[in-house]
Amino acid sequence: MCKYRLGLLGWPLSHSLSPVMQRAALDAYGLTDWIYELIPTPPDELAQAWPSIQSHYFGCNVTIPHKQTIAAWVQSDPLANAVGAVNTIVFQENDLPLGSNTDILGLMGDLACHGIDLRQKRVVILGAGGASRAAVYLLVYLGCKIMLINRTLARSKEIQSKYPEAVILGKFEDVEDWQPQAMINCTSVGMWPYIEDCPWPDSLAFPRGVLAYDMIYRPMQTAFLKKAEAAHGTGISGIGMLVHQGAAAFTIWTKKPAPFEIMFKAVQNSLANS
């Protein structure tokens, strides 16, 4: 009998390896009364589905495109509240769900594992959704100067207004002259199955020698990372971030240390076989 139901709430979800990763962690502890499943929910059905999700699940992860919408419907912890985006939830009886943001820990943990120190660096961030908010929060904390580029200007303006000292709004044409040391893709452009798409425009040369971090983990080698490497930069996939943020979520739900290596291997195997 399944007592503890977990899931991933988002749309689309066909790319996601969170079920494989979380099931491997639950299996490692022999937690047979826990399950983790996909909760595919388009934006126009989210409000209607929310009461049923609250009553049927113990907790969930939240991904594209719901992290900001959901933040307004839960009781966020101080970090998630500061970021304005939630990716991990614990449902409570007779009270508001508790919302956390483990994307910050995810990015921070993965940068540390790669020995990357972004303190005081100039960093371009592509995208202004939930994941971008987490990245900007971390980079502001690290004393970075940030150029934010997004398709929808209103979303990047909203983030910039929170950190006017650290964040400027930019266009792709501005990047080369600004001489960034790193670029982080926080858009969903290039994510499986649209693996030929790239958030950096074909019409412009990719800045030379930058560290390029792609939050997308499927495929591991995105068009964005290929362009960065062709321009003598270093490319890092979001696979490590996925495992770090998932490990933090696992601990929030189960109160147990996450079996990080087992989770990482499960994701790697799944990517190798897909």
Ligand X SMILES: NC(=O)c1ccc[n+]([C@@H]2O[C@H](COP(=O)([O-])OP(=O)(O)OC[C@H]3O[C@@H](n4cnc5c(N)ncnc54)[C@H](OP(=O)(O)O)[C@@H]3O)[C@@H](O)[C@H]2O)c1
User: Rounded distance, CA 14 to CA 141, Å?
Assistant: 33
- Report phi then psi at 248, rounded to 5: -65, -40
- Which tokens belong to 118? 């972004």
Cβ-based nearer residue to ligand X, 14 or 32:
14
Q: Which stretch binds ligand X (CB under 6 A): 36-44, 61-69, 111-119, 172-180?
A: 61-69
| Contacting ligand X within 228-267 (CB under 6 A) | 238, 241-242, 245
Among 59, 127, 219, 235, binds ligand X (CB under 6 A): 127
Instruction: Give the integer Cα–Cα distance in Å for 78 and 136.
Output: 16
CB 68 within 8 A of CB 128: no
Q: Which stretch binds ligand X (CB under 6 A): 50-58, 163-171, 188-196, 248-256?
A: 188-196
> Does the footprint of ligand X cover residue 150 (CB under 6 A)?
yes
Q: Which two tokens stand for residue 137?
A: 């929060």
Q: How far is the CB of 84 from ligand X (least distance, A)?
A: 11
**Which of 22, 61, 76, 187 is the binder for ligand X (CB under 6 A)?**
187
Catalytic residue among 3, 67, 157, 255: 67
Interface with ligand X (CB under 6 A), residue from 3, 56, 114, 151? 151
Site membership for ligand X, residue 88 (CB under 6 A): no
Task: Tell me whether residue 192 is exposed, middle or buried, using C-beta atoms within 10 angstroms of its C-beta: 0 to 12, 13 to 18, 19 or more.
Answer: middle
* DSSP calls for 82-137: HHT---EEE--TTSPPEEE--HHHHHHHHHHHTT---TT-EEEEE--SHHHHHHHH
> How many CB atoms lie under 10 A from the CB of residue 169?
16
Q: How far is the CB of 1 from ligand X (least distance, A)?
A: 31
**223 counts as binding ligand X under rule CB under 6 A:** no
For residues 18 and 246, the answer to whether their CB atoms sit within 8 Å is yes
Q: Which of 54, 94, 93, 45 is nearest to 73 (CA)?
A: 54
Name the E strands within the chain.
4-10, 34-40, 59-62, 75-76, 88-90, 98-100, 122-126, 145-149, 167-169, 182-185, 211-214, 234-237
Q: Which of 211, 215, 263, 266 binds ligand X (CB under 6 A)?
A: 215
Q: Which of residues 28-47 bind ligand X (CB under 6 A)?
A: none
Quick check: is 67 catalytic? yes
Span interacting with ligand X, options 31-39, 48-56, 183-191, 202-210, rule CB under 6 A: 183-191
Q: Angle 103-113/239-254 helices, nearest 10 degrees?
A: 130
Q: What mask, x for binding ligand X by CB under 6 A, covers residues 98 to 117?
A: -----x--x-----------
Q: Could you say which of 49, 54, 65, 81 contacts ligand X (CB under 6 A)?
A: 65
Cβ-based nearer residue to ligand X, 35 or 83: 83
- The correct pick among 217, 250, 253, 264 for binding ligand X (CB under 6 A) is 217
Task: List the catalytic residues.
Answer: 67
